[in-house]
Chain A
Amino acid sequence: MNRTATIKKKAKWVHKDLLGLEYLSKEDMNLLLDTADSFREILDRPIKKVPALRGKTVVNLFYEPSTRTRVSFEVAAKRLSADVINIATETSSVKKGETLNDTGKNIEALKADIIVVRHNCSGAASMLARHVNISVVNAGDGWHEHPTQGLLDIFTLKKKLGRIEGLNVSIVGDIAHSRVARSNIWGLTKLGAKVMVCAPDILVPSGIEKMGAGITNSIDEALSNADAVNVLRMQFERDEEGVFPQQLEYFKNFGITEDRLKKAKKDIIVMHPGPINRGVEISSEVADGLNSVILEQVTNGIAVRMAVLFWLSQARNKKGKDEDTD
């Protein structure tokens, strides 16, 4: 680099891990969103690859089934020239009783640089991060957080509407079991949006209002003033006590349909983290309609995850080195 560029005050990335949007500042999030915006263009090039993470190794450690998130992280790492190793726990030593921390320590001993972990226990990523010196990315831990999904939802909104501050965003569906809802609420409220959650009472967790979100049981109220609606999947597999509403009943009362959207803002943005259940939380017409950005979310997710992997590896590079005081 020539040294003529004036060194401006820049946002600094200091985190070893990305565990949740609760732990990031507004500046941290804006740095990731701006970086993702720059990375987005790489995905449309004829050669979709830059050498920024050449020689780094990213390990995907997934204790829960996932296609979208795992593939998205894998693509993101490969676009940055990192090497990627996928561990599906069904075929690993986890089956032989190895603990998460021991698995993490072994991955560290194999000289990997970043672990991307998905686990069905809330707090699993944080625990792993405390036990290893390499970076940990939370790719979803129980009902706690799914920070890259939150960021890609926010990124997609910002791309569509140009801002986050002052937006009204409604999150509809199974809030209680949703890490996506929690990451969205933390991220959106920190960036100045107003968040409203909408679900049957049984699926609204107590204390959610303390995170800064409004609550309603009326889908019409949730849609009436919203600039965007984030539709969550009904996680019937988590209904251990048999208290969830039936699918048809849920669709009738909370499903996002064209009729309901007619009463909302004309250009309301419809998001869904996937996988979608057509005819349960969203109708096919809406999922495939003009308001839907569901597939853009998938593409944007790569750029957001590239930004996360990039900054985590930068933070590691800087460890123990003097900071430039200019």
Chain B
Amino acid sequence: MSFSKKANILTKEEIARAITRISHEILEKNRGSKDLAVIGIRTRGYVLAERIVQSIKSIDGSSLPVGALDITLYRDDLSVVSEQPVIHKTEIDFDIEGKNIILVDDVLYTGRTVRCALDALIDFGRPRAIQLAVLIDRGHRELPVRADYVGKNLPTSQKELVQVKLEEVDEEDSVFIEEAQNE
């Protein structure tokens, strides 16, 4: 099966605006940045987490702690995935006890990644609350999970593939949809 590009969803500027808006919403909902910490799910969720922290800094001057979470070892499909996983480091060098954690990922789809991330996070302590921020919510949930902050809601078919590209890892900022080609 191969994929071909079908539609552009977000440009570089639109991604930047979404990050800024989400940052404002986080500050609004939490009434400022007190006790906030941002943790991104590797790889692209962590990139977005760093951008949100930067954005919040430019809004209210606070420097929030930022961490990276690798959820490979918590996956419920470790025994069924066809490609071998790559295990990266989890790097959370602050105490999450009592914090309001903003968990960040690039795409919210089945909800299974978020379920793993919640398990992984809670092994580090007991945060006061965990809120979820995603750049794209594409639907098709298989678990009762919802996002508190969404860059863009994007109705998709399950045959489609949502690609998020971020400069820090992909050398460009864009979001587009690819569709499976039956050969």
Contacts and interface: CB of A to CB of B under 8 A. Distances in A.
Contact of B70 (A10, A38, A322): A38
A210 interface: no
Interface string A31-63: 000110111011001110111100000000000
A317 B83 CA distance: 11
B125 to A, nearest CB: 6
A2 interface: yes
Contacts of A1: 75, 77, 81, 112-113
Nearest to B170: A6
A324 B83 contact: yes
A37 B88 CA distance: 9
Contact of A326 (B83, B120, B124): B83
A7 interface: yes
Given A35-B87, A37-B89, A322-B82, A2 B162 contact: yes
Interface string B114-151: 00000110011100000000000000000000000000
B87 A321 contact: no
Contacts of A143: none
- Residue of B84, B86, B125 with most chain A CB atoms under a 10 A cut-off: B84
Contact of A41 (B80, B89, B164): B89
A35 B105 CA distance: 23
Interface residues of B, number: 40
Contacts of A265: none
Interface in A12-34: 12-13, 34
B11 interface: no
A46 B82 contact: no
A96 interface: no
A318 B80 CA distance: 8
A323 interface: yes
A6 to B, nearest CB: 8
B125 A41 contact: no
Interface in B149-183: 161-164, 170
Interface residues of A, number: 35
Given A13-B84, A46-B124, A324-B82, A4 B89 contact: no
Nearest to A7: B83
Contact of A38 (B88, B123, B161): B88
B7 interface: no
B102 interface: no
- Residue of B73, B83, B85 with most chain A CB atoms under a 10 A cut-off: B73
A49 B123 CA distance: 8
A172 B67 CA distance: 43
A4 B77 contact: no
Contacts of A50: 73-74, 120, 123
A103 interface: no
B91 interface: yes
Contact of A10 (B72, B84, B112): B84
B175 to A, nearest CB: 9
A283 interface: no
Given A2-B113, A5-B44, A51-B74, 16 more contacts: A1-B81, A2-B107, A3-B161, A4-B161, A4-B164, A8-B86, A37-B89, A38-B70, A50-B74, A50-B123, A51-B73, A52-B72, A80-B73, A317-B78, A321-B82, A326-B83
Interface of B: 43-44, 70, 72-75, 77-91, 105-110, 112-113, 119-120, 123-125, 161-164, 170
Interface of A: 1-8, 10, 12-13, 34-35, 37-39, 41-42, 45-47, 49-52, 80, 310, 314, 317-318, 321-324, 326
6 contacts: A4-B163, A50-B123, A51-B74, A310-B87, A317-B78, A324-B83
Q: Considering the complex of A and B, which 3 residue pairs feature the smallest CB-CB distances, nearest first?
A: A52-B73, A50-B73, A2-B107
